[in-house]
């Protein structure tokens, strides 16, 4: 009990030093939705992080974490959270940037770079300005040589709440964004719409705070991590090699999937790729390779395309403007 009280007192001291009210005054409605489903211990798996909807008061039950748990606030690190607009399907839910190479890829591929002379009206469609501006401020003040960057995107219901991340909690190299939300419900006689929007968490943590072994285990309850999926930042070239005989297509709207099929003496080779617009409504598309491999039969290629979400229709290289069915691909005797 004494150990728990000491940890709680330390948490309160951290928050108070950053101007966050930890007093127990006023009415509070506690909720028990954890920011992450990942918990550091088996005991913690049965408990949850508690926070309050009464302003920005943080009510964290530190007893569920280990003695080495660290509560990092904006006083100690770069921490930001803001509305970023709807970006589902066009951006990854999570970016971990730990090296200069990964930073260069993020700047180029995810529209996080900003032209040195500013943006023209026509260029706005080619940059995700809602995230790129705060991201560039963070990289200037906290160099990649000393810090690891974390960007999280979450689709939330914006109706009635103004979200805010007040602190980071690191326990056994597992990161938790400690999220509070400030109530701004309209008057009872006012109409209210339930609008889905995008929300971004952004942080720069000192090198060594997190380890690469923990990255793939982070998840939101509604967005589980899928095994055997290559990180977008580690897929190498985004150039599709010529010579494919057919392309499987799938997807919808701002995000599509392709499986490129090649034939050689040993059978078939495939390349799975994903294409998204730079931002919603943008005329600019980008394509990134997800993975590749070899199969012996056309039936196996079809199974690969199905898992890739690219089994809606097929085009052949010799008549790329004609849409074919998957069965027509299987019936081709020339391959």
Write b or e for each residue in 210-242: b if 16 or more Cβ atoms lie within 10 A of its Cβ, otherwise e.
beeeebeebebeeeeeeeeeeebbebeeeeeee
DSSP 320-331: EEEEE-HHHHHH
Structure tokens at 280: 């919603």
Residue 304 phi/psi, 5-degree rounding, is -60, -45
Return the pLDDT at 22.
41
**For residue range 163-176, what is the model confidence (pLDDT) as tens digits?**
667 777 777 667 77
| 283 DSSP 8-state letter | S
Span 40-56, mean pLDDT? Answer: 40
Return the pLDDT at 40.
39
**For residue range 247-292, what is the model confidence (pLDDT) as tens digits?**
999 987 777 889 999 998 889 999 998 887 766 666 667 777 888 8
Return the pLDDT at 131.
76
Residues 85 and 213 sit within 8 Å (Cβ to Cβ): no
- Taking Cα atoms as reference points, which of 317, 314, 254, 291 lies closest to residue 128? 254
Return the pLDDT at 261.
96
Four-point Cα dihedral 18, 62, 58, 47, nearest 10: 160
Structure tokens at 77: 């690190």
Question: Which range, of 63-72, 152-161, 178-187, averages the lowest pLDDT?
Answer: 178-187
| Rg of the Cα atoms in the chain | 24
Instruction: Return the SS3 of 221.
Output: coil
Question: Which range, of 22-36, 107-121, 218-232, averages the lowest pLDDT?
Answer: 218-232
């Amino acid at each position: 009990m004494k150990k728990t009280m000491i940890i709680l007192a330390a948490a309160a001291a951290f928050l108070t030093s950053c101007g966050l009210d930890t007093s127990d005054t006023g009415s509070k409605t506690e909720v028990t939705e954890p920011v992450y489903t990942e918990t550091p211990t088996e005991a913690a798996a049965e408990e949850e992080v508690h926070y309050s909807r009464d302003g920005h008061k943080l009510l964290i039950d530190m007893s569920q974490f280990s003695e080495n748990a660290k509560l990092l606030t904006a006083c100690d690190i770069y921490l930001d959270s803001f509305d970023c607009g709807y970006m589902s399907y066009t951006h990854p839910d999570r970016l971990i940037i730990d090296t200069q190479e990964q930073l260069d890829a993020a700047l180029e591929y995810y529209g996080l770079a900003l032209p040195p002379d500013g943006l023209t009206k026509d260029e706005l469609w080619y940059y995700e300005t809602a995230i790129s501006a705060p991201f560039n401020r963070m990289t200037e003040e906290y160099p990649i040589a000393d810090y690891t960057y974390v960007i999280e995107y979450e689709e939330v219901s914006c109706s009635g709440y103004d979200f805010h991340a007040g602190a980071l909690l690191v326990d056994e190299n597992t990161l938790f964004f400690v999220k509070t939300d400030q109530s701004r419900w309209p008057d009872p006689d006012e109409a209210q719409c339930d609008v889905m929007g995008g929300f971004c968490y952004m942080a720069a943590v000192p090198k060594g705070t997190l380890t690469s072994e923990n990255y793939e285990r982070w998840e939101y309850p509604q967005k589980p991590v899928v095994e055997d999926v290559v990180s977008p930042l580690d897929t190498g070239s985004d150039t599709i090699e010529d010579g494919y005989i057919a392309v499987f297509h799938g997807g919808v709207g701002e995000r599509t999937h392709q499986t490129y099929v090649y034939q050689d003496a040993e059978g078939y080779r495939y390349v799975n790729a994903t294409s998204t617009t730079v931002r919603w409504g943008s005329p600019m598309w980008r394509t990134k390779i997800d993975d590749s491999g070899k199969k012996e039969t056309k039936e196996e290629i079809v199974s690969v395309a199905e898992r890739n979400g690219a089994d809606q229709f097929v085009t052949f290289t010799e008549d790329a403007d004609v849409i074919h069915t998957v069965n027509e691909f299987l019936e081709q005797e020339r391959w």
